[in-house]
Structure 1
Amino acid sequence: TKPLDFEEADTHELSVRATDGGGLSSICKVLVEVVDVNDNAPELAVSSFSSPLPENTVPGTVVALFTVRDRDSGANGKISCALDDQLFFSLRPAYKNYYELVTVSALDRERTARYVLGVTAADAGSPPLTSTHTFTVDISDVNDNAPVFNQTSYTMYVRENNAPTVFVGAVSAADADVGLNAKVTYSLAPVPAAERPSCSCISVNSENGHVFVLRPLDYERLRQSEVTVSASDAGSPPLRANVTVRLVVLDENDNAPLVLYPAQDGSAASSELVPVSAEPGYLVTKVVAVDADSGQNSWLSYHLLRATEPGLFSVAVQSGEVRLKRPVTERDSAKHKLLVLVRDNGKPPLSATAALSALLLKNKDCHPMYNNRLLE
């Protein structure tokens, strides 16, 4: 009279009476056995579940405990469970119909921060029925990653005579962790007393890694310096990394040429002796100068700025050699004064002057002294 349900009653007992027309009757018992069909899918009930899991959770840790049951009987009620991903997690039977979801290998939040695990329970019916439960396991961070700088080393440049607290560059480090474990602060790494740096003028901003030079520098005293910058996270305990920052001081043209010869100390300058018979190209003397700067700022050139007889002498632009430009004539005076300009190649250029004198003597007058000059 209505559908049968094996799970509600697997047998039905009936009493059947047969009555004839003469009023005689008989009773028999009818026993109806209901045969089970696979009409119930397995059921999964979670008893406990832990999420999130710290990424340093040891393998074998129980993540979830659940039970399965099937209202059918026989093969229709026999259940097996399977896990989708078995690389980091697995299922193991506990007792009776209980199963445990456990970790089987080390976890790494930086590689995978969340696992979505599907557990499928299937019965042995024909066709089998299944049910699936999803466990979402979040992985919480532990401070297992030190900061990493985006460069293996840094080179920064500053021009000498810089303004105080000038910005010269920035260091940057990232931390693969999250939260406080990834919050990076910067500082100068402490230096042992025996290894004090040649320059204590460098500062680093703790929040953004900006590097500053605190005072004006002089290229002629300090051409480069190195410091070690440390990046530290806010984990407990904190992890840190170090990087070398090299500061290179760039030269400015702030030094004029210095004339070494002839001496320009204000004392009476000795005269260069030139025989009147000297040929054109004769080396009278050489102006020697140096420049404390470097590069093109120290490239010197020599120019004849003024002379008693401009056409008699010439100055080599590159070497500063003063030579006779033409033969000496009787009309040339015996004493000559020259002023040589020494100029560097900076922008703007700086210069100095060298004053010298030359004395023209006949060969018989200057021969002994001339020989002395050669010996010198």
Structure 2
Amino acid sequence: MLVTFKIPETSEPGSRFPLEVARDHDIGSNTAQEYRISPKSKLFSVSYGSRSNGDKYLDLVLDRPLDREEEAEMGFSVIAVDGGSPPRSGTIEISIIILDANDNAPIFTQDRYIGRIMENMPEGSVVLTVLATDQDAGVNGDISYQLSLEVGQSDSAFVIDPITGEIKLRKPLDFEAAERHEMSVRATDGGGLSAICKVLVEVVDVNDNVPELVVSSFSSPIPENTVPGTVVALFSVRDRDSGANGKISCALEDQLSFSLRPAYKNYYELVTVSALDREEMPQYILSVTAADAGSPPLTSTQTFTVDISDVNDNAPVFNQTSYTMYVRENNVPTVFVGAISAGDADVGLNAKVTYSLAPEQGAERPSCSCISVNSENGHVFVLRPLDYEHLRQTEVTVSACDAGSPPLRANVTVRLVVLDENDNAPLVLYPAQDGSPASSELVPVWAEAGYLIGKVVAVDADSGQNSWLSYHLLRATDPGLFSVAVQSGEVRLRRPVTERDSVKQKLVVLVRDNGKPPLSATAALSALLLKDFSDVRLPHSSPAPEDQDGSLTTYLIISLVFVSLLFLISSAVFVARKACRRKELEAGHVLYGADNLQSGLADAAAAGTLPRAYCYEISLTTGSGNSEFKFLRPILPSLPPQHCVSFTYLIICFSSFTAISYRL
């Protein structure tokens, strides 16, 4: 038989739990006399006997306090023994179930839990798990967990699972905001008993913060003449991370004109290291990079835009080293002839260029008052009409000056060339056209075609093609008898003279230049066709005195001496030149007699100096005493023999001297 008792563990010692007494059909001493527990129990004993009314009883007595946590269930037997002989016994089985009482509070496995978590862990990540145990059973042993915030915390980044005790993230952590979090966890059983533990969560820093650059001062623009070492910017760097993640280094991208240098603590200075030139680089874009020592490293970049302000360090520069401008003569006043231009590499007022005429230095080049320069745009004007025949070119110095302080200037030479206009008609020099009676050219009737009668000589004050003169026969008494060389102006016979030709011929030669439009002039000539020059009577002549004959002889002698002297000098020069060249003199170049004279004249004629052999002789008409040189072939017989011989010798010497000079 099994008897089960459910005894609360809170039962006090001495508590009795009644059992049914053993029944025995015997009577007297043979009935049940004794009860015992087998095996013997430390917690229970049996108490039996009779009551005052004679009823027997049997109690199971609790000798000691129960502890379900030590032994929740137990079993033993109660044996009843009678007093017979031999004794007989009976047994009942006792099962003791100790009912739990909430006599044990939850107990955490650790008084202090410490957890470490990376600050970049996502929401819902398990930080750690707390564990509390309760020796009670049932509801008394059911534990739930709650987080308790520390003082001063309004919101927790953690949440705990009330059943499992897992502490999880409910929002991202930030090491820079809080390096660790402290909290309390309470464990409560079903009976209301609880326990508390401390939880410390350490946040592990992650390199999640880029370095920061904080600019304290920055100067821009800076003048281009800033000395090296000038501080342009002052800035500090910081990183909210810790350890290597917060260790910062700064670097300036490739830049030769600027550098970084540490100032104090986490401050750096951006300074110039070389001379600046705005004309080469008007603006610098400087990039400063700050990098931490994390893995991987994080960087941030600060850009400084440094403008370079201009200093007047560049003088104006002309776009040409010199200028040549042209103006036609007889120009209208204030005519534009060209422009000069100068550039300045500076900016603003430093680059504003004005132009002016620079004063001439020295007296070797007087200043020209006919040129003006516009101060704003450099346009060059000629103020008054110019005359090519008086001024062909002039030079002025133009100065370009900027508006800087102090101003810088540059000079350039401007040459003004006056272009010729065909404003001058040809001027006839021979024959003279001054209104006096023209002299007549004497032409022998036996003259052949091509005979040279005379030559018109004219000049033109213009230049270039404006001064190229051409000669044309405009009118003549007999146009078919004469021809005029277009280029040289020589008047020659076109055909031989005939008896039908008039003795007195008049010609008008037109001299024309090559300008556009052409200008012209005329020259009048007279020619006399004569058989014998001795009968010529020239008008407007006066009788020569009787001593005219002696004067002419004296003049001839002086002329002969002069020609001889020239001949000797020319011969000496010729001999000296030949001696220097170490060549022998040619015998044909020295005149020793009449035979040599003929060969010399032939050589000269062949060389082109004397295209036709002419004898020059003076003819004195009978009674008049007047004389005039003419072109004749024979020696005139009208002269006295001594005069004729002397003058002939003079002509021969002159011709020989001319031939020798040509060959030299």
Regarding TM over 0.5, the answer is yes
Structure 1 Cα separation of the partners of residues 498 and 307 of structure 2 = 104
State the match for 1:56 in structure 2.
225
Which residue of structure 2 aligns with residue 316 of structure 1?
A: 485
Contact between 1:219 and 1:250, CA under 8 Å: does it hold in 2?
yes
Would you say 1:298 and 2:467 are equivalent positions?
Answer: yes
Contact 1:276–1:328 (Cα < 8 Å) also in 2: yes
SS of 2:350's equivalent in the other structure is helix
1: CA distance, partners of 2:445 / 2:405: 90
Structure 1 position 20, deviation (Å): 9.7
Q: Is the 8 A contact 2:360 2:367 kept in 1?
A: no
Secondary structure, aligned partner of 1:34: strand
The 3 A distance-change label for structure 1 pair 100 and 330 is same
Instruction: Give me the whole-angstrom Cα distance separating, in 2, the residues matched to 1:44 and 1:372.
Output: 114
Residue of 626, 630, 638 corresponding to 1:373: 630
CA–CA distance in structure 2, aligned partners of residues 162 and 303 of structure 1: 32
Matching of residue 126 in structure 1 with residue 383 in structure 2: no
Cα displacement (A) at 1:33 = 3.8
Contact 1:197/1:225, CA 8 A, preserved across alignment: no
Pair 1:198–1:123, CA change in 2 (3 A): closer
The question of 1:98 aligning with 2:267 is answered yes
Once the two structures are superposed, the pairs formed by residues 231-310 of structure 1 within 5 Å of their partners are 231-310=400-479
Structure with greater Cα Rg:
2
> Scaled by the length of structure 1, what TM-score is found?
0.92
Report how far residue 39 of structure 1 moved.
2.2
Q: CA RMSD in A?
A: 2.5
User: How many residues are treated as equivalent by the alignment?
Assistant: 376
Structure 1 27/202 Cα, relative in aligned 2: closer, same or farther at 3 Å? Answer: same
Rounded to whole Å, the distance in 2 between the matches of 1:202 and 1:123 is: 72
Are 1:63 and 1:103, in contact at CA under 8 Å, matched by a contact in 2?
yes
What CA distance in whole angstroms lies between the structure 1 residues aligned with 2:199 and 2:235? 43
Distance in 2 (CA, whole Å) between partners of 1:5 and 1:331 is: 140
Letter of the 2:212 partner, please give it.
Answer: E
Equivalent position to 1:357, from 517, 526, 530:
526
Describe the shift of the 1:202–1:21 C-alpha distance in structure 2 as closer, same or farther (beyond 3 A). closer
Q: Tell whether the 8 Å contact from 1:157 to 1:247 is kept in structure 2 after alignment.
A: yes
Tell me which residue corresponds to 2:68. none
Separation of aligned partners in 1, 2:367 and 2:446: 59
Aligned AA (1:310): P
Q: Report the TM-score, using the length of structure 2 for normalisation.
A: 0.54
**In 2, Cα distance between the equivalents of 1:8 and 1:222?**
94
- Alignment-derived partner of residue 192 in structure 1: 361
Q: Distance in 2 between matches of 1:168 and 1:328?
A: 59
User: After the TM superposition, which residues 126-145 of structure 1 pair with which residues of structure 2 at under 5 Å, given as runs?
Assistant: 126-145=295-314
1:204/1:212 contact within 8 Å kept? yes
The residue matched to 1:51 in structure 2 has which SS?
Answer: coil
Give 2:332's aligned residue.
163
Instruction: Report the Cα offset of residue 28 of structure 1.
Output: 7.0
**What is aligned with 1:182?**
351
SS of the residue corresponding to residue 289 of structure 2 reads strand
In the TM superposition, 1:76-115 aligns within 5 A as: 76-115=245-284
Match of 1:68 among 224, 234, 237: 237
Ranked by relative contact order (alpha carbons within 8 Å, sequence separation 6 or more), the top structure is 1
TM-superposed CA distance for 1:70, in Å, is: 1.2
1:373 counterpart letter in structure 2: K
CA distance in 2 between partners of 1:353 and 1:103 (Å): 85
Offset at 1:246?
0.8
Match for 1:337 among 490, 500, 506?
A: 506
CA offsets 1:139-193 (integer angstroms, 9 cap, x no match): 1111111111121211111111111111111111111211111111111111125
8 A contact 2:359–2:367 mirrored in 1: no
Which one of 374, 385, 409 corresponds to residue 205 of structure 1?
Answer: 374
Indicate the residue corresponding to 1:5 in structure 2: 174
TM-fit CA distance, 1:124: 0.7
Q: Give the AA of the match of 1:233.
A: D
Letter of the 1:92 counterpart = R
Pair 1:329–1:90, CA change in 2 (3 A):
same
The gaps in structure 2 that reach 5 residues or longer are 1-157, 159-168, 537-616, 620-626, 632-650, 655-664
Aligned partner letter, 2:217: S
Contact 1:197/1:226 (CA < 8 Å) preserved in 2?
no
- The one of 152, 164, 167 equivalent to 2:321 is 152
Q: Deviations over 1:280-312 (max 9, x none)?
A: 111011111111111111111111111122222
